[in-house]
């Protein structure tokens, strides 16, 4: 299955100022698979070290000289390591933090050697201050679950993926193509983007087989809790993990997790899930300017789960529930669609950028308003709603546009594409004017590209 991150790795391979690259992401999003298909297509041989399984190899890296380390690795694996022809893959590097710290010396002394590292719980190591992170000597690649367009490629729908990748919003979208894409999107939402799940479905066409693997992945994450630290209350962590998918789409309130627990204790568990890339905070931003992260309220946030398919599994939902609902927008009061769009927006920037996503909320008495998401693209700040229905129902969006004076907004729903000049009035009579770009849910991946084509 093809991952778009492979394109970035190919660029990295030929870059003159290349540094060792570290792939960051949750367990089972396909980090190791990505490196292996990259190595197979671009190099003569691969030296792969898994520090959880081969922890004794970490001793080789205690030598102070990268050149001597390379010679010892040649003896260990019985392969010549040639710069430009060999790639060294250091997997589960969080199990050998001293090795991680030494990556800087490979950059300084052997800059032509291709080195990739990855780790499922790497954030835990990075949050520790016991060793020196090689700042400026490494770069990162952030990998999330597979996207809808990667799902299309895996399912031999490359023509549809190419159509989406080159679609211009001024074009008429034929209803037959739209309906076909919505049907495929519903399948994608039910499965989610975990590579192992999609691979099994592509081989068997069995939703039951996919459900079994999703349950296995959820159990794997639970089994990892023992690696989160000795001071962790595993039962509390499990409780947050189980309840978290039910909170998607809502302002996070600790009382919704457990009324009997103190907020600060739940917060600790939530933070650990964030470090493991299982949970992603969507923080409130005042949205007065760029960067959006410069005006956040740490106490006001929503949460996204790792993956929409795993979210469905945790909430006891399946493809049958999506079929009964008819419209993805209606499943679980719209939270499923918000999760699906959110995880695409989260990773919609260049893969070397830290994934981030924001929303906007106003909690004044008799004047509450909330937008699902807000992103920035270039100098623009773009408010986003994931909402069905007519423009008259976009009351929060109207409030935001009036308060911030932005001229472009986006709505995702199950309808086809439209670009409309909106003229509306607030309850107090104040006028609101802006351009509303409505896109089908399956185009979330293309949003930033499309926005760049709309004149400011």
pLDDT tens column, 354-375? 999 999 998 777 678 999 999 9
In this structure, is residue 148 part of a structural domain? no
In this model, does residue 277 exceed pLDDT 60?
A: yes
User: What pLDDT, on a 0 to 100 scale, did the predictor assign at position 392?
Assistant: 55
How many folded domains does the chain comprise? 3
- Looking at residue 147, the DSSP 8-state letter turns out to be P
For residues 339 and 415, give the distance between their C-alpha atoms in angstroms, rounded to a whole number: 18
One domain, residues 185 and 331: yes
101 and 172, same structural domain?
A: no
The predicted pLDDT at position 226 comes to: 85
* Residue found under tokens 């700040």: 381
Same domain, 257 and 379: no
Once rounded to an integer, what is the mean pLDDT over residues 418-427? 92
Do 132 and 18 lie in a common domain?
yes
Q: Which domain holds residue 441?
A: 360-452
Q: What percent of the chain has pLDDT over 70?
A: 97
Examine the domain organization and report whether 15 and 138 are in the same domain.
yes
CB-count burial class (<10 Å; 0-12, 13-18, 19+) for 308: buried
- Of 384, 295, 301, nearest in space to 345 by CA: 384
Taking 60 as the threshold, does the pLDDT of residue 391 lie above it? no
Over the stretch 168-205, which tens digit does the pLDDT of each residue have? 989 999 999 999 999 999 999 999 999 999 999 999 99
Among 347, 368, 397, residue at a domain's last position: 347
Q: Is residue 88 pLDDT above 90, yes or no?
A: yes
Residue 122: which pLDDT band, with cuts at 50, 70 and 90?
confident
Instruction: Give the Cα separation of 166 and 149 in Å (integer).
Output: 12
113 and 244 share one domain? no
Task: Give the 3-state secondary structure of 213-260.
Answer: HHHHHHHHHHHHHHHCCCCCCHHHHHHHHHHHHHHCCCCCCHHHCCCC
In a domain? residue 354: no
SS3 label, residue 320: helix
Q: Does residue 35 share a domain with residue 166?
A: no
Instruction: Quickly state the pLDDT bin for 3 (edges 50, 70, 90).
Output: very high
Residue 134: pLDDT above 80? no
Do the beta carbons of residue 8 and residue 141 sit within 8 Å? yes
Q: Are residues 120 and 173 both part of a single domain? A: no
Report residue 139 as tokens. 């770069």
pLDDT digits (tens, 9 = 90+) for 237-269: 999 999 999 999 999 999 999 988 899 999 999
326 and 206 within one domain: yes
* CB burial readout 245-278, b (16+ within 10 A) else e: bbbbbebbebeebbeebeeeebebbbebbebbbb
What CATH number does residue 67 fall under? Answer: 3.40.50.300
Backbone phi and psi for residue 227, each to the nearest 5 degrees, phi listed first: -95, 0
- Same domain for 387 and 444? yes
**Residue 129 clears pLDDT 60, i.e. is over it:** no
Within its chain, how far is the Cα of 151 from the centroid? 15
Residue 297 domain-assigned?
no
Q: Which of 142, 167, 193 is the last residue of a domain?
A: 142
Same domain, yes or no: 60 and 170:
no
End-to-end CA distance of the chain: 37
Cα angle 44-50-56, degrees, rounded to a multiple of 5: 115
Main-chain dihedrals φ then ψ at residue 4, nearest 5 degrees:
-65, -25
């Amino acid at each position: 299955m093809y991952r778009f991150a492979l394109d970035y790795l190919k660029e990295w391979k030929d870059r003159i100022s290349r540094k060792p690259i570290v792939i960051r992401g949750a367990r089972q999003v396909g980090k190791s698979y990505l490196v292996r298909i990259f190595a197979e297509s671009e190099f003569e041989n691969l030296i792969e070290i898994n520090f959880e399984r081969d922890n004794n190899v970490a001793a080789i890296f205690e030598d102070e000289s990268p050149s001597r380390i390379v010679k010892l690795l040649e003896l260990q694996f019985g392969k010549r390591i040639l710069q430009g022809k060999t790639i060294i893959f250091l997997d589960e590097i969080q199990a050998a933090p001293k090795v991680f710290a030494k990556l800087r010396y490979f950059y300084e002394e052997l800059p032509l050697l291709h080195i990739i590292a990855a780790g499922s719980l790497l954030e835990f190591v990075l949050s520790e201050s016991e060793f020196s992170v090689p700042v400026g000597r490494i770069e990162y690649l952030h990998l999330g679950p597979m996207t809808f367009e990667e799902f299309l490629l895996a399912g031999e729908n490359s023509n549809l993926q190419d159509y989406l990748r080159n679609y211009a919003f001024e074009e008429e979208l034929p209803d037959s193509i739209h309906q076909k894409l919505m049907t495929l999107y519903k399948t994608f939402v039910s499965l989610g983007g975990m590579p192992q799940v999609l691979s099994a479905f592509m081989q068997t066409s069995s939703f039951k087989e996919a459900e079994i693997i999703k349950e296995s992945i959820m159990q794997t994450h639970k089994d990892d809790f023992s690696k989160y630290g000795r001071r962790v209350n595993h039962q509390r962590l499990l409780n947050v993990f189980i309840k978290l998918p039910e909170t998607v789409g809502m302002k996070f309130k600790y009382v919704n997790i457990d009324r009997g627990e103190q907020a600060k204790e739940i917060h600790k568990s939530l933070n650990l899930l964030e470090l493991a890339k299982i949970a992603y905070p969507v923080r409130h931003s005042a949205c007065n300017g760029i960067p959006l992260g410069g005006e956040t309220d740490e106490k006001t946030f929503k949460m996204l789960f790792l993956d929409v398919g795993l979210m469905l599994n945790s909430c006891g939902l399946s493809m049958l529930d999506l079929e009964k609902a008819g419209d993805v927008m209606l499943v679980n009061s719209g939270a499923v669609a918000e999760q699906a769009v959110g995880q695409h927006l989260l990773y919609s920037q260049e893969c070397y950028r830290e994934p981030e996503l924001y929303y906007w909320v106003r909690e004044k008495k008799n004047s509450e308003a909330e937008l699902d998401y807000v992103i920035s693209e270039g100098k623009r700040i773009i408010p986003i709603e994931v909402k069905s229905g007519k423009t008259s129902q976009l009351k929060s969006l109207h409030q935001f546009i009036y308060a911030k004076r932005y001229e472009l907004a986006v709505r995702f729903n199950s309808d086809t594409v439209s670009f409309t000049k909106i003229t509306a009035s607030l309850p107090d009579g104040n006028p609101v004017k802006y351009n509303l770009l409505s896109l089908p849910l399956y185009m979330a991946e293309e949003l930033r590209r499309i926005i760049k084509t709309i004149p400011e």
